[in-house]
Amino acid sequence: MQIKFGENIKDFSESVSVLDAIKAFDRDVLKKTIAAKVNGEEVDLSKQLSGTDEVLSLEPIQTDTRDGLEVLRHSTAHLLAAAVLDLFPGTQLGVGPALMEDPRYGFYYDVIAPRQLTEADLPIIEKKMREMAKKNLVYRREEIAKSDVLQIFKERQEPLKCELIDEKVNSETASVYHIDGSPFIDFCLGPHVGHTGKLKAFKLLALSGAYWKGDAENQQMQRIYGTAFATQEELDAWLKQREEAEKRDHRRLGKELDLFSIQDDYGQGLILWHPKGARIRMEMENLLKEELQRRNYSFVFTPHIAKRDLWKISGHEENYADSMFAPTHIEGDDDTEFRLKPMNCPFHIGIYKSNQRSYRDLPQRYSEMGTVYRAELSGTLHGLMRVRGFTVDDAHLFVRPDQVREEVADCLDFAIKVFETYGFEKVKFELSVRGDADNKIYLGADEEWESAENALANALQERGISYERIEGEAAFYGPKIDIKIEDAIGRIWQLGTIQLDWNLPERFQLEYTGEDGQKHRPIMIHRALFGSIERFFGVLVEHYAGAFPFWLAPVQVVVLPITDRINEYAEKIGTELKNCGYRVEVNLKSDKIGAKIRDAQMQKVPFMLVLGDKELEENKIAVREKVKGDIGQMTLEEFKEMARRLKETRALTNG
Ligand SMILES: [Zn+2]
Ligand SMILES: [Zn+2]
């Protein structure tokens, strides 16, 4: 048997474990290795490799990679379940996956314990986990007949696991994992760490209600959340970041600053934008509109519902129905059914199709702040981050193949310009390509893919943008570039996408007349920078910790008269600034000036103009900046000049 590891190939005469095979190639690699891939399939280090004619390609999965972290977190979820079983015999287990995209948690396990668990149980369970971790208990895989697996869980009185096995296992056998020395057995594909001693940095974080399979009709369960990292340093850093994130939580700040609300009477996941939030949103949209106009996009508006048949043509009925609200119709009218839109794309296609297009008309660039609706389960909703109705800063470009590179390059410029304006210095780009196309069905010819992938890569390189190339992550209908940003406390947010698509042009039979007089199919580019304006707004609230820069601040200036004698002067100053287009409040309450300043400080207003007898006499204003405090007296003209500069340059600080 031959095994390939990196560039090296070795012969192994007998069966060898993955661990020993790696050891034979490189002992140092082993230190950080917790699982491996054999011919691309993830396996335990204990797996025996034996007699085969093919050359096995072996790759380590290391703890400092995403795959490694996933194995670590998934293994910790098992340890959690083992500890719960040990402490609360008779507990029924649901599922326990690693969470890789959730900024709050790293894994969970759903359980039904003999008694309701409380927050107070978490430290006890965590302590038990540590005890078990210290004992280096082995994760042992067993491959047995499906009927035996079912028998095991039947005897253990775990009907949920039996249900899962029935659903998921289509073969004769299935794998179960034990943690030896504990009462735990799980039906699982693996891989896991070799033994519990590999789990050194974990913490339980929260307890919440959950339903079996996320369905409210099913049994109520309890979900125990935790996280795990490869090292204690990473865990500590993450916990610190989490604490900082809690201070900035957009749901709390949204309330304190009166920006938005979500009310049960209107429905969970539906956002009410209050006047102050709406002012920020208008500024966000203004920036986009300026850039869209500069880049020759056309603005369009489209309805929120469309005939159900349209969603059949677009493929949403077939592939996306779970995320769509159910069809509706007009009582007493014909049978026409309608559905709320989950995406804007088919509507922009309708506009493209409304006319004959020639190669000279392309590209067509349609942009819309398009509100869409998704049937998200209530358990997944989270503030502004996951909602049921949101607005996409959407655009669709209909282009000729030879225009892809240039159009994509302009989308990249656009993205960088916009995110820089908000002060996101670290913008990351990921190019998802088809990769090894063997095991997936991709639409379109090889040449089409090659030229499209090259166009995207060239656009990135041309702009000097460093990017990560991700093989095998393209959609079946085209490659894409994902845009991610890092916020003020180091969290990564996946936002927009530049997605190439030859599926929808095909489905809707889009055409243009080429220079050759023949009909050709355009390529469609779906392009959004924020993805969801609601979610990006949530990111901004947390990024700035509620202290929006001058150009975005819902109230930019408050005028604070020290005594009633000054009220008239204060109102005059306020009116003059309002007439210049600034968002100004004049606080005429009879509170002490200290209280008025504190109030403005709490509302994170960039400038306070404090007016007393002296200011009135000299026809000046005393200016306080929210961070620096008192910045001295000036004339109103001087202040206006400073404000104009901050607004026009969309400055991030008031320096
Ligand atoms: Zn597992
Ligand atoms: Zn689209």
Listed in sequence order, the residues at least 6 apart from 114 whose beta carbon sits closer than 8 Å to its beta carbon are 88, 89, 90, 91
481 contacts 412 by C-beta, under 8 angstroms:
yes
Asked if residue 438 has pLDDT above 80, the reply is no
Reduced to 3 states, what is the DSSP secondary structure of residue 404? helix
- Using alpha carbons, select from 603, 607, 626 the residue that is nearest to residue 253: 603
User: How deeply is 594 buried, as exposed, middle or buried, from its count of CB atoms within 10 A (0-12, 13-18, 19+)?
Assistant: exposed
Nearest ligand, measured from the Cα of 346 = 2
Cα distance from N-terminal residue to C-terminal residue, the chain: 68
- Tell me the per-residue pLDDT of 240-274, one tens digit each, with 9 for 90 and over: 999 998 899 999 999 999 999 999 999 999 999 99
- Using alpha carbons, select from 231, 232, 227 the residue that is nearest to residue 122: 227
Dist. CA 497 → ligand 2 center (Å): 10
Q: How confident is the model at residue 439 (pLDDT cuts 50, 70, 90)?
A: low
When mean pLDDT is compared across 330-344, 396-410, 433-447, 621-635, the lowest value belongs to 433-447
Give the pair of three-digit tokens for residue 481.
């570039």
Distance between CA atoms of 319 and 573, rounded to whole angstroms? Answer: 58
Asked if residue 49 has pLDDT above 80, the reply is yes
Mean pLDDT of 63-80: 96
Residues by chain with Cβ below 5 Å of ion ligand 1? 188
Residue 34: predicted pLDDT: 94
Give the pair of three-digit tokens for residue 437.
């196309």
DSSP symbols for 425-467: --EEEEEEE--SGGGS---S-HHHHHHHHHHHHHHHHHTT--E
- Tell me the per-residue pLDDT of 205-246, one tens digit each, with 9 for 90 and over: 999 999 998 888 898 999 999 999 999 999 999 999 999 988
Return the number of other C-beta atoms located less than 10 Å from residue 458's C-beta. 15
Dist. CA 31 → ligand 1 center (Å): 22
Distance between CA atoms of 263 and 173, rounded to whole angstroms? Answer: 49
Whose structure tokens read 């990006």? 536
- Tell me the per-residue pLDDT of 144-167, one tens digit each, with 9 for 90 and over: 999 999 999 999 999 999 998 988
Residue 472: predicted pLDDT: 87
Dist. CA 190 → ligand 1 center (Å): 5
Dist. CA 169 → ligand 1 center (Å): 15
Distance between CA atoms of 70 and 74, rounded to whole angstroms? Answer: 6
Dist. CA 490 → ligand 2 center (Å): 29
- Domains of the chain listed by start with CATH number: 2-62 (3.10.20.30), 67-247 (3.30.980.10), 260-543 (3.30.930.10), 557-648 (3.40.50.800)
Whose structure tokens read 């949204």? 254
Residue 14: predicted pLDDT: 83
Give the pair of three-digit tokens for residue 442.
């991709």
Nearest ligand, measured from the Cα of 347 = 2
Give the pair of three-digit tokens for residue 464.
């000097």
Whose structure tokens read 């703890």? 63
- Tell me the per-residue pLDDT of 311-320, one tens digit each, with 9 for 90 and over: 999 999 988 9
Sign for the pseudo-dihedral over CA of 555, 559, 563, 569: negative
Dist. CA 502 → ligand 2 center (Å): 12
Give the pair of three-digit tokens for residue 367.
């942009």
User: How deeply is 36 buried, as exposed, middle or buried, from its count of CB atoms within 10 A (0-12, 13-18, 19+)?
Assistant: buried
**328-329 β-sheet, strand order:** 305-307, 337-340, 328-329
Dist. CA 73 → ligand 1 center (Å): 10
Asked if residue 507 has pLDDT above 80, the reply is yes
Asked if residue 58 has pLDDT above 80, the reply is yes
Please report which helix (H) or strand (E) contains residue 120, including its range: none
Asked if residue 437 has pLDDT above 70, the reply is no
